[in-house]
Amino acid sequence: MDRIKAVQIFIFVIAIMIVARLFYWQFIAKVQGNFESIISEDNLPAARGEIYDSQDFPLVTNQEAFLIYGKPHDLKQSPKDIAQKIAPYLISEKYATASAGLSEDEQKAKDAEIKTKEEELTNRLATKTLFWVQLSRKITKDAKEKIQAMNIAGLGFEADQKRFYPESSMAAQLLGFVGSDKFGVDTGYYGLEGYWDRRLRGKSGRLGQETDPFGFPILVGKYRPIEPQKGASLYLTLDRSIQFMVERSLKQAVEKYGARDGTVIVADPKTGGILSMATYPTYNPAVWQEFDEKFYKNPAVADTFEPGSIFKIVVMSTALDVSVVEPITRCDVCSGPRQIGGYEISTWNKKYYPNSTMTEIIQHSDNVGMTFVSEKLGIDKFYDYIKKFGFGQRTDIDLQEESTGYVREKKDWKVIDLATASFGQGIAVTPIQMVEAVLIIANKGKLLTLHLVDKIVDGQKEEKVKAQGERQVISPKTAAQMTEMMVNAVENGEARAFAPKGYRIAGKTGTAQIPVAGHYDPNKTIASFVGFAPADDPRFVMMVRFSEPSSSPFGSETAAPTFFGIAKELFNYYGIAPKR
Amino acid sequence: MLPVSDFKIKKKDNFNLIGKIKVKVLVIIGLLVSASFFAQLVFANNLATDGEKLAKIHEEIKKLEAENTTLKVEIAQESSLNTLSEKAQKLGFAKPSQVITP
């Protein structure tokens, strides 16, 4: 064997060995043991999508927040000293106001909370069995900077985000809030945050890469990061100027009339978009933990109540649509109270109007007249139309906690149920269902699905939310006849003194007693007003509802003036001038 | 008929030619491997310093994003209706009592 051949064989063997070794490292060997310490696998949380109003102003956005942690073994000061220094910055945000602005009671409560926090922090920092302890989550940037300035060894921060509400508690019950699920992941609850949670939350990413001893990424190493994807942003039909004005009017009205609570819904009858949805009392979603759970649900979609007289417009529309009555049909049983199924049916004010026309029955909100109408209809038609109007089922508005209301099964209806339901007793509706029913009349008999989200923007993709379930419920002729009856009710009814002059407004008052343990409480009522304006070319549909107003139990003296007050501001806002 | 010795010589010549080609191929492969190895070294060296640059860029992006978030929040806060209505009230603005149409 000559020397060349020997060199050949040597080179060949070395090459094979190198290839084999490379193959081993590339495909067979797994990184184990100490190598793990140089692979950083950070979870990258995705930013949650924002929520904007119809003019692209953020109602909910994100702000920087931090998690503060302690390393008990690295502390240079005693846990108690550290706790005393940092506790004032880790208490509830509601005490963020300068001490001078707090009342004496609030100051006492703040001091007590600081004390409790100090004890809690001391205990945590003194836990020597742990290497790392979480002290607080989602603290503000301001609090973080103040703590950081103290240069306390053994404390550290991790960046995070939290929700910020530029308009503070505006539309709180509609927006919902963000809390944590059992794994500590941000999750939306109630309202839009709850309903659209999966779209808003985005997809968290992962940073898996090898790092050198200095912590810099090794680009030739294993490098497979997954970028987090920000959640989609919602663009609403809600107009914050209208919402602001409505909320202010509602708060004043609830206080003025001594009501337990109040709800106002304003919708666009041409699109079904909600322009405003206000409730009072409400809560602050930034510090939702501080409020009782009963405030979380949005009464505008979750509360059910007996509608009372505002339901008469649904019954009358039905009777007109199936042609059992005309606006000029006269009632031949309206001269006094009636006995039906062993019960006496009377009018709310004990006044009777013999031979009233259908228009006058609506104007006087005549219960006896409505029993005449329901008798003409019969149970089958009555029940079918209630369903067609959407009662007893969800409107499918994009809010989490919507309830269905209650309409008893058709087979369970008796003559007395037909009579009482004709003036809104014995069935339960939600405020949003009533708005939908009025919208049908305002929109020439056509039902549009009420909705809040107009479009969803996900990165570069823009998705228009399509209206669903559009259908004709009553004929345009019926809708026009009903509109005229409602205009007459405003102009000649109990609330005529409050109506703004020069505008044709279609509306109806309602006063429903609250059923308590099998009977109606005479002192507790739900006062309401529904309507739309301008009657000939409606720009808005509105409902105002108060629970248990104490200054007056009647809708005509509480809900109606509030409705007209808000309507006046809407006329100004839209630039609608009076015509007469 | 050719003598046996001539045949042997011819066979030896052929064998050398193949051997020479094989050596050339091996040399070329060796050179290619060396070049690739060298190129790998150069790229790896460059990328090693890029890791630090990348970390700095990531840091900068994070900082800018955080500043952006803070500024967005400040803008939203300053232009909120609560703030604006307070300012309007202080400046003596009044609500319009009549509808103004163009």
Q: Where are the domains of chain A?
A: 3-30, 63-165, 243-284+297-574
pLDDT at A200 over 60: yes
Give chain A's count of helices (H) and strands (E).
16, 20
The answer to whether A312 and A362 have CB atoms below 8 angstroms apart is: yes
Q: A58 in contact with B at a CB cutoff of 8 Å?
A: yes
Nearest by CB to B54, from A217, A241, A572: name it: A217
The verdict on a CB contact (< 8 Å) between B77 and A212 is no
Q: Across all residues in chain A, what is the average pLDDT?
A: 89
The verdict on a CB contact (< 8 Å) between A166 and B100 is no
Is B26 a domain residue? Answer: yes
Q: What percent of chain A has pLDDT over 90?
A: 64
Residue A573 burial class via C-beta count within 10 angstroms: exposed 0-12, middle 13-18, buried 19 and up: middle
Residue A273: band (very low, low, confident or very high) from pLDDT cuts 50, 70, 90? very high
Is B37 a domain residue? Answer: yes
Nearest by CB to B80, from A167, A216, A219: name it: A167
Residue A35: band (very low, low, confident or very high) from pLDDT cuts 50, 70, 90? very low
The answer to whether A563 and A531 have CB atoms below 8 angstroms apart is: yes
Element (H, E) at A541: strand A540-547
pLDDT at A52 over 80: yes
Please report the pLDDT score of residue A36 as a whole number.
45
Residue B102: band (very low, low, confident or very high) from pLDDT cuts 50, 70, 90? low
CATH number of A243-284+297-574: 3.40.710.10
Angle at A94 between CA A187 and CA A156, to 5 degrees: 65
- Which residue does chain A place closest to B45, by CA atoms? A220
Residue B8: band (very low, low, confident or very high) from pLDDT cuts 50, 70, 90? low
Q: A100 in contact with B at a CB cutoff of 8 Å?
A: no
Please report the pLDDT score of residue A529 as a whole number.
96
Is B101 a domain residue? Answer: no
- Written out in words, the top-level CATH class of the domain with range A63-165 is alpha beta
CA distance B7 to chain A (A): 22
Is B19 a domain residue? Answer: yes
Q: Which two tokens stand for residue A535?
A: 């009657």
Q: Is A158 left (phi over 0), alpha (psi -120 to 50) or beta?
A: beta
What is the distance between the terminal CA atoms of chain B, rounded to a whole angstrom? 123
> Could you read off the pLDDT of A332-349 as tens digits, one per residue?
999 889 888 888 888 888
Mutating which of B27, B46, B69, B101 best tests the A interface, going by the most A Cβ atoms within 10 A?
B69
pLDDT at A439 over 60: yes
Please report the pLDDT score of residue A210 as a whole number.
63
* Residue B18 lies in domain: 4-77
Total count of domains within chain B: 1
Please report the pLDDT score of residue A519 as a whole number.
75
Element (H, E) at A40: strand A39-44
List, as ranges, residues 37-56 from B with C-beta within 8 Å of A: 43-44, 47-48, 50-52, 54-55
pLDDT at A203 over 90: no
Residue A459: band (very low, low, confident or very high) from pLDDT cuts 50, 70, 90? confident
Q: Which two tokens stand for residue A55?
A: 């003019």
Q: A21 in contact with B at a CB cutoff of 8 Å?
A: no
Q: B93 in contact with A at a CB cutoff of 8 Å?
A: no
Give chain B positions within 8 Å (CB) of A168: 80, 82
Please report the pLDDT score of residue A34 as a whole number.
47
- Which residue does chain A place closest to B26, by CA atoms? A8
Please report the pLDDT score of residue A452 as a whole number.
95
CA distance A373 to chain B (A): 41
Give chain B positions within 8 Å (CB) of A159: 62, 66
> Could you read off the pLDDT of A515-552 as tens digits, one per residue?
776 677 777 899 999 999 999 999 999 999 999 999 88
Residue B4: band (very low, low, confident or very high) from pLDDT cuts 50, 70, 90? low
Q: What percent of chain B has pLDDT over 90?
A: 26
Q: A324 in contact with B at a CB cutoff of 8 Å?
A: no
Element (H, E) at A236: strand A233-236
Quick one: average pLDDT of A459-467?
A: 87
Is B61 a domain residue? Answer: yes
Nearest by CB to A575, from B26, B73, B101: name it: B101
Is B9 a domain residue? Answer: yes
Cα–Cα distance for residue pair A433/A315, rounded to 1 Å = 14
Q: Across all residues in chain B, what is the average pLDDT?
A: 80
The verdict on a CB contact (< 8 Å) between A577 and B70 is no
Q: How many A-B residue pairs are in contact by the CB < 8 A criterion?
A: 80
Cα–Cα distance for residue pair A391/A388, rounded to 1 Å = 8
CA distance B83 to chain A (A): 9
Quick one: average pLDDT of A297-320?
A: 95
- Least confident range from A409-423, B20-34, B47-61: namely B47-61
Quick one: average pLDDT of A297-316?
A: 95
